[in-house]
Amino acid sequence: MKTPIQLKVEISETYATMLNEATSCCEVDCSCGNNAGSLAGYSAEALAQLPEGAVTFGCGNPVALASMQPGETVLDLGSGAGLDCFLATQHVGNTGVVIGVDFTQDMIDRAEENAVKLGLKNVSFKKGDIEDLPLKDATVDVVMSNCVVNLAPDKDAVFREAYRVLSTGGRVMISDIVLTRPATEAEKEDMALMTGCISGSLPVDEYAQIIRNAGFQDVKVERSESDAIWDGQFWYSASISATKKS
Ligand SMILES: C[S@@+](CC[C@H](N)C(=O)[O-])C[C@H]1O[C@@H](n2cnc3c(N)ncnc32)[C@H](O)[C@@H]1O
């Protein structure tokens, strides 16, 4: 059984490798959930405005969920090559700010290169662990994330941190893989399933309870309609939302 630190190193190395093998959106099987490219649901118009290196490794489209408003501050947990951050800038406008946090240096470098190509001044990327965010308390309006929380060994810490950095009234809008049953020990030890965003996740009720335990209200976990489930599949892509009310 790997320690949380060993797991994080393996996850980071895996995603650096995947990034360096991908040159355009979903040219490789850039899925966390093996079919995430088809789950992502980005509009062709939105993607057409982005540079080639803005690949997605996500399993949904949290930007569409977030109903972001001009002037808001948005934080993307596990921002990868920056695609969701760039889309978020289209919603928050010049008066808003988008911050991506990722612990893989190659992802940060790629995201920063892409921001320069796009000429964006209101997006920045910080290297950091989503279990210990490099942000001050109550400084964010929206926490979004796309297929990342499943990879975190300490999901309680992720949602405690999200709660801490959100202002009152702030909301969480996440796309992630959830399970229909707990992963077996063998599945958790299977590094392809783990880094592929499946066996590190939790059954839907357990996932929702962790969010409630962090203090969030109005917690909703809804299956993404576009996600076809085949025989034997014990996971699906979900849209997860919650609000910090006090
Ligand atoms: C499946 S990819 C998703 C990337 C991006 N959200 C997207 O949709 O393309 C997972 C990303 O999360 C990052 N990641 C995983 N665990 C993390 C953690 N504990 N803290 C920060 N980043 C993490 C990885 O480096 C990788 O870039």
pLDDT confidence of residue 23: 54
15 lines ligand 1 (CB under 6 A): yes
Q: Does the CB atom of residue 147 touch ligand 1 within 6 A?
A: yes
Residue tagged 């060993």 (tokens): 6
What's the pTM? 0.92
pLDDT in single tens digits along all 246 residues of the chain: 899 999 999 999 999 999 998 754 443 344 443 333 434 567 777 777 777 777 888 888 877 767 899 999 999 999 999 999 999 999 999 999 999 999 999 999 999 999 999 999 999 999 999 999 999 999 999 999 999 999 999 999 999 999 999 999 999 999 999 999 999 999 999 999 999 999 999 999 999 999 999 999 999 999 986 666 777 799 999 999 999 998
Domain with 144 in it: what CATH number? 3.40.50.150
Amino acid at 81: A
For 112-165, the DSSP string reads HHHHHHHT-SSEEEEE-BTTB-SS-TT-EEEEEEES-GGG-S-HHHHHHHHHHH
Total tally of structural domains belonging to the chain: 1
User: Rounded to the nearest whole angstrom, what is the distance from the C-alpha of residue 147 to the centroid of ligand 1?
Assistant: 7
CA–centroid distance, residue 219 to ligand 1 (Å): 22
Write out the residue range of the structural domain in which residue 92 sits.
4-243
CB of 152 shorter than 6 A to ligand 1 = yes
